Structure 1
Amino acid sequence: MNLVNILTKLMICIVFLGYGQPVSSAVKDTVPNIEGLWHQYHRNDAAKLPAISYPYDHCFKSAAEKYDLPLSLLLAVARGESNFNPRAKSNRNCHGLMQIQWPTTAKHLGIYRLKALYEPCTNIRAGARYLRELLNRYNENLHLALAAYNYGPSRIKNRSGAGHMPQGAKWYSGYIYHHLRYIMQGATAAGTDTSGKPKRYNRQKRLALVTFNQPYRANAYFQHLQKRAPSLNLDWYRIGLGRYQVVMLYSDNKTLASGRKKLKNLGVVVKSR
């Protein structure tokens, strides 16, 4: 193992120091107030419209209007859950764009055929309806509603604060907020005159870098790499139960080769597949 690899691994260990245990006084100040960030979004930015046109845009807009939800919220959930892949399926028997659980949640939402969950508009409407139900239950608290979307309402109390929510549910809310930040790039107020056609979302290819079993580890490594190489197009996604993957996004072989070279200079060597 060369010196660069050793130093990189040492730096990663430093980034993760303190994260292998429940949040304590040693690290709590570095954990963002996700609930506060969601309140700020709800108050200031929820009505803004994304600058990018996303897949199945008409389905998202229709569902957002029908269930009185911010369009950007639905898009953030879809990007985090499936990256807009209508054929996505998880090892928890969740399906489609919004990852609706089969059969319990799907039937609760009026869907009685598994095949229907792979119809984009049907799946998006189901996810929007479920989010609206949860927001009604939790008095429009986005943090609690998203935690319940992931963990189930029976496990999320109608209040927030330390000790009232499973740690994994808190991190899911933060994970969706991470994707919301992407959606909100360049967002404008409704009614703003934006000349020309909006840029289309490019669901780029992914080069897997590292997979973790905890979301905060993936987020820490993502931030570590992003600070060291801001020109790289990096992101992280949940890819299954207890699996979170940091990836480099690329659109063509030239971008892939350039990204690999930059990663290698950081001591991150990814094997060819």
Structure 2
Amino acid sequence: MFRGFYTVASGMLSQQRKTEMLTNNMSNANTPGYKADQASMRAFPEMLMDRMDSSSIPTEKKLSLPFNQRVGALNTGVYMQETIPSFVQGDLQETGRGLDVALLDGSMPVDEETGVRGSVFLTVEGQDGSPRYTRNGNLTVNGNGFLTTNSGFYMLDENGDRIQLESDQFTVGENGQIVVDGNAVATLGVGYSDNPNQLVKQGDGLFATEGNAALPDAYAEDNVSFAAKQGFLERSNVDASRTMTDMMSAYRAFEANQKVLQAYDRSMEKAANEIGRVNG
């Protein structure tokens, strides 16, 4: 009986966490460059149950031989193992704003074993000074002339240095080169990850590598092609209609587990108050 409680509770917890993840996706449906999270559900390892018994042998000493009788497998519930962002490119939205830059994926190598497609990211400076990566190209120029994200993180060039401009009147070529008054002053830093699933998702649309190591320079990678598009923003890749459908499914699954839990509770109440009653 109690095993049923644990199994149902694990189902409710996993669906609650999935709902929270989907709600977060919906709230960021209009956030530029946002990558939707996907849930990975796993069942707890099954337990193979045996019943321990013994058999008496009619001898003078009445020998008793122990043996196990197979009962069967028992599943102990489900849990949400992890959330993995989907790095499928979002649609490009034309804004006409010179401070908006989107990365348009071209040819990206695909790992033959895992099937994971590589991805490129704009490079920014994190609060601790180590590199961070983003697909949100909604940029601005601060009071000191440094090019930053809308959240205030410094944009880095291909050498890992901050990009300082004399004005916000500049052009960005498809090769990532920043030109002011006809002179090339910097090149947007773009990192390449052959397995973006290994990146750690952080706040403000940022990603980090394990150990905060720098990603390889995308410009120097063979078989990697991309283009920087000025005046465009990459929209989030959240599919709103599918997310709403998944939220309803998760809610229904939570509700079904809740009904089972209530049935268990009523059974335990009967066992305690009626079956176990001692008549005087």
Fold agreement, TM-score > 0.5: no
Structure that is richer in helix per residue: 1
> Greater RCO between the two (CA within 8 Å, min separation 6)?
2
What TM-score, normalized to structure 2? 0.25
Per the normalisation by structure 1, the TM-score is: 0.26
